[in-house]
Structure 1
Amino acid sequence: MTLLTPIKPVRKPRIGLYSVGLRAYWEQFPGLRERLEQYGVFIEQKIAQWGEVFNYGLVDTESEGRQAGEWLNTQNVDLVFCHAATYSTSSTVLPVHQINKAPVVFLNLQPTERMNYDGSTTGEWLAHCGACPVPEFANAFNRAGIPFKVVNGLLGLDYTPDISLTNEVTNERKEAKRAWLEIEQWVRAAAVPRTLRHSRFGFLGNTYNGMLDMYSDFTMIQAQTGIHIDVLEMCDLDRMLREVTPQETKQKLDEVLAMFQLSGDSPSDPIARKPTEEQLEWSCRVAAAQEKLVREYDLDALTYYYHGAPGGEYEKLQGGFIVGHSLLTARGIPCSGEGDLKTAIAMKICDILGTGGSFSEIVVVDYVDETILLGHDGPFHIAISEGKPILRGMGLYHGKQGTGVSVEAKVRTGPITTLNLTQTGDGKLKLISSEAESTNGPIMRIGNTQTPVKFRQHPDDYMSRWFAEAPTHHCAMSIGHNASLFSKVGELMRIKHVELV
């Protein structure tokens, strides 16, 4: 086990697949059916890299379509790919999705980049005419009120079947690579609703007083995302703390020393100093209790905040939160501060997709570099850090009670995407994503996470557009350009997605 081994693995998406054709063709054109079925097996094997695949096979009549719909229901699939292998009537396909309600994506994947015009036969053409029925499918689905998406491109074989009269080696062509990247994104995105529907989010303490953007109706959140919210008390964590042994504290200290570097005193900020042995020992003991809490309540994510009375036991307890919650975030249990449940969900989406998801807000604008620093006073997603994060001892937490150890770090340089989950005036959730670049610009040495981010617009123009979308003021920062991936998550969860470009 490594220090970044997930405490709970992401659930694999369950993907339905079937190919379509016209039954009258099989007797007319010997070998065509078997050829199309082999294309379907190729697609199945490719998709199996990213999810569990349930391939019904060929559907060629409306009655077969009904059987396929019932069979897909028994497989509890999250997403269905309909491979338009050749022409098929829309009456063959529509019943599948009137019975099975999983989202559907049509695959228009032509096996060849160009027909052998001089040597082609009708049977050969029919093996390559997958685009022919897709407009008919689109019309029927639109009139039936069933949403759908289409992936267009080349099949991407690395060989040519013996029966073929043309070249079918297309795996290196851009049209095949683009199509398979889109298919991969659909499959990966399908892991998000499946995992969320089986997720338990802990809500420890309360929301920071007065942050109206973060208040949400737990029932509304569960209705739109499928997550269960477990309301936890500080006394639950305190009970865990009392069970922590010296050996468990030492084990956490070993983890901390492996994953962080310890700071000296900040050269600029008198409240940011070298962590004391007492502060480190306390943070590690609290971290051990935090992991116990996650395991006892079987949590997949956690949002937290506790103010507490000055000098109280729980004030001291929450002062040790940031290190342990950073460790948990790195191991697949995203933790968001200030009781921001919506951003915990955004962080979990990023984590399910393997792109990180670090807790952030606007820190300051650098008008010289034209970057916006994004970060927070913790926690931080260690797995996407630029080098080892730094631990600083804090004489106080600004705007909060207590003292303790905080994380100073930046997300690694390169492409990033922010993901914001907000709530609109009509009670609907909305995703907002922005692709940008993390730069190697300077950061302050004040014990906070900070990443200089260069968006595609001037900071003022970008902020105007972002503020106009009425976001939650926190967001999750992921590595990579993921807006297309996040948009597919929104489609599958039936949550509106806005990309700021």
Structure 2
Amino acid sequence: MSSIFQLRKARVGVVHIGHAPYWPQFPGLKEELQGYGRIFEDMLGEQEVELVSGGFVDSVESAFAAAARLKGEDLDLLFCFLTTYVTSSSAATVILNAGGVPAVLVALQPLDKLDYSRTTTYMQLANDNICALPEIGGVLRRAGRPAAGMIVGTLRGDERATAQIAAWCRVARATAAFKRATIGYLGHTYEGMYDMNSDPTAFTATFGSHVRMLEMDDLAQRVHAASEQEIQAKLEQIHSVFTIADPFIDPVTRPVAPEHLAWAAKVAVGLDRLVADYGLTGLAYYYKGLDGNAFERIGANMVLGNSLLTGKGVPLSGEADLKTCAAMLIMDRLGAGGSFAELHPCDFADNVVLVGHDGPHNIQISEGRPIIRGLELFHGKAGSGLGVEFSIKTGPVTLLSLSQNEHGRYRMVVTEGESVAGAIPQTGNTNTRCSFGRPVAEFVEQWCAAGPTHHFALGTGHVAAQIASVANIMGIEVCHV
């Protein structure tokens, strides 16, 4: 089963741009600039991406040749490294003919400042990286293909530039995740939740992914086929990750009986098989069942298996929320985790709002070991089973909701805040105390007025800028709250 967790790396291209008229005038300059290009490639090589080099370009002719090479490489992002002043013809020719790949213009100066008393024209040209940025940026915008971004700084020891390079590689991972992806859709949306309803064709048109319609029978068959050896291995995994909790004062909670845990493990094995057999990148699911039948028992006991899969980079979203499944996938590939969540009660005294859900969750961003708690019922749903309870890590957080406007086009609603330490209800659900730098009532009003769905992906870190870059590349409107 390990193959299902081998996540696709982003394919990132790089091309170095120079200016051929300089070479006969300044011997050695070309070789020096090529050396700086190799330093930049080494920086990219430290990221978790597949790197494709288009080489050194210093004329329109060599730009066409580089574009032809890069066009067949199925790139997710292209870094255009400006080594000196270059004409826009060289840079734009590569970018506009490389197959529509989004491009980031990079101008990293070798020296943090010139030694003005000793500066020569050669030295200036070796540090003239930013000179062509406005020219190239303006030409790309006129061509209707504006640069996805720009990075300006120094070539060595520049933490800001290094962080931007890493951030853009994560953006490439997020957009790459939807390429050739299959998102499973199992069952139907929770009755009456109009905001959950989705058009799979519109989803494919926006993200390029296939939405695979699945039946409960597909999952049930794989659950019932689980072997005792597989179930025991899953139980060992569960015990290594979770802490088993006793019932709390909430009468809904109950002891975690061995047979309940074994059944949840069996369902988790079936989920692993479902993901593997259909090559799923993610799964949106909900099925109510009836009168304690097999489908109800399976549907009510998916939270453990879903949380384990979500923690491994295969997001699963409850109540058949296809949009939040996509939001969770984006957050995961940005390195922020992305847990299925909604607004819970406010704590007006402490100026926080509780954020969480009854599942599924991203256990990779849990503050400490997540807890398993037995539940006599799931409020508003059928069946009984096991719940997962935790807060996400304290510190910066980001909320991402994927919604739609009145024309049916997708839009992202995003905000940044803080996860703060403190008590949470012990009800078998996740709950995180979130503060947003303003009165909590004001935040809730502003968030809800922005038109999100009531579910969203809750992740660690402040990644709103990276989300905006993903949205820009995908042609999706983004609203910051």
Superposed CA deviations along residues 432-466 of structure 1, whole A, max 9, x for unmatched, are 22221111121111111111111122211211221
Superposed CA deviations along residues 224-279 of structure 1, whole A, max 9, x for unmatched, are 11222111111111111221122222222222222111121212x11112122222
Superposed CA deviations along residues 70-102 of structure 1, whole A, max 9, x for unmatched, are 121022221111122111222222222221211
- Deviation for aligned residue 1:281: 1.9
Aligned to 2:75: 77
- Deviation for aligned residue 1:492: 2.3
- Deviation for aligned residue 1:211: 0.8
Q: Secondary structure at the match of 1:368?
A: coil
Kept after mapping to 1: 8 A contact 2:130/2:152 = no
Q: Secondary structure at the match of 1:265?
A: coil
Q: Quick one: distance in 2 between partners of 1:152 and 1:217? A: 37
- For residues 66-465 of structure 1, the aligned pairs below 5 Å read 66-100=64-98, 101-157=100-156, 171=157, 176-267=158-249, 269-465=250-446
Aligned to 2:22: 25
Superposed CA deviations along residues 376-435 of structure 1, whole A, max 9, x for unmatched, are 111121111111212111111111111111112111222211121111122221222222
Q: Which moved more, 1:490-499 or 1:297-306?
A: 490-499
Superposed CA deviations along residues 192-239 of structure 1, whole A, max 9, x for unmatched, are 222211222111111111111111110111111122211111111111
Shift of the 387–281 alpha-carbon distance from structure 1 to 2, 3 Å rule, reads same
- Deviation for aligned residue 1:152: 4.2
Q: Quick one: distance in 1 between partners of 2:443 and 2:274? A: 40
Superposed CA deviations along residues 131-180 of structure 1, whole A, max 9, x for unmatched, are 111111122222211111443433333xxxxxxxxxxxxx1xxxx21122
What value does the CA root-mean-square deviation take over the aligned residues? 1.6
Aligned to 1:36: 33
Tell me which amino acid in the other structure corresponds to 2:124.
W
Shift of the 142–332 alpha-carbon distance from structure 1 to 2, 3 Å rule, reads closer
Shift of the 326–209 alpha-carbon distance from structure 1 to 2, 3 Å rule, reads same
Q: Quick one: distance in 2 between partners of 1:333 and 1:104? A: 28
Kept after mapping to 1: 8 A contact 2:345/2:354 = yes
Aligned to 1:56: 54
Aligned to 1:483: 464
Superposed CA deviations along residues 344-381 of structure 1, whole A, max 9, x for unmatched, are 11111122222211110001100011111000111121
Q: Quick one: distance in 1 between partners of 2:259 and 2:10? A: 45
Kept after mapping to 1: 8 A contact 2:415/2:480 = yes
Unpaired runs of 5+ residues, structure 2, are none
Q: Secondary structure at the match of 2:343?
A: strand
Kept after mapping to 2: 8 A contact 1:141/1:147 = yes
Q: Quick one: distance in 2 between partners of 1:14 and 1:361? A: 34
Kept after mapping to 1: 8 A contact 2:148/2:469 = no
Tell me which amino acid in the other structure corresponds to 2:398.
T
- Deviation for aligned residue 1:6: 8.2
Q: Quick one: distance in 2 between partners of 1:35 and 1:498? A: 44
Tell me which amino acid in the other structure corresponds to 1:315.
E
Q: Quick one: distance in 2 between partners of 1:282 and 1:55? A: 50
Q: Secondary structure at the match of 1:147?
A: coil
Shift of the 150–308 alpha-carbon distance from structure 1 to 2, 3 Å rule, reads closer
- Deviation for aligned residue 1:30: 0.3
Shift of the 139–76 alpha-carbon distance from structure 1 to 2, 3 Å rule, reads same
Q: Secondary structure at the match of 1:197?
A: coil
Kept after mapping to 2: 8 A contact 1:103/1:492 = yes
Kept after mapping to 2: 8 A contact 1:253/1:284 = yes
Superposed CA deviations along residues 7-57 of structure 1, whole A, max 9, x for unmatched, are 422222222212222211100000111111111111111011222222222
Kept after mapping to 2: 8 A contact 1:356/1:383 = yes
Aligned to 2:13: 16
Kept after mapping to 2: 8 A contact 1:153/1:178 = no
Tell me which amino acid in the other structure corresponds to 1:323.
L
Q: Quick one: distance in 1 between partners of 2:104 and 2:237? A: 44
Shift of the 150–7 alpha-carbon distance from structure 1 to 2, 3 Å rule, reads closer
Tell me which amino acid in the other structure corresponds to 2:397.
I
Q: Quick one: distance in 2 between partners of 1:47 and 1:303? A: 34
TM-score for the superposition, normalised by structure 1: 0.92
Aligned to 1:163: none
Q: Secondary structure at the match of 2:5?
A: coil
TM-score for the superposition, normalised by structure 2: 0.96
Q: Which moved more, 1:89-98 or 1:115-124?
A: 89-98
Regions of 4+ moved over 6 Å: none
Question: What is the aligned-residue identity percentage?
Answer: 38
- Deviation for aligned residue 1:104: 1.2
Q: Quick one: distance in 1 between partners of 2:3 and 2:465? A: 25
Tell me which amino acid in the other structure corresponds to 1:336.
S
Shift of the 149–396 alpha-carbon distance from structure 1 to 2, 3 Å rule, reads closer
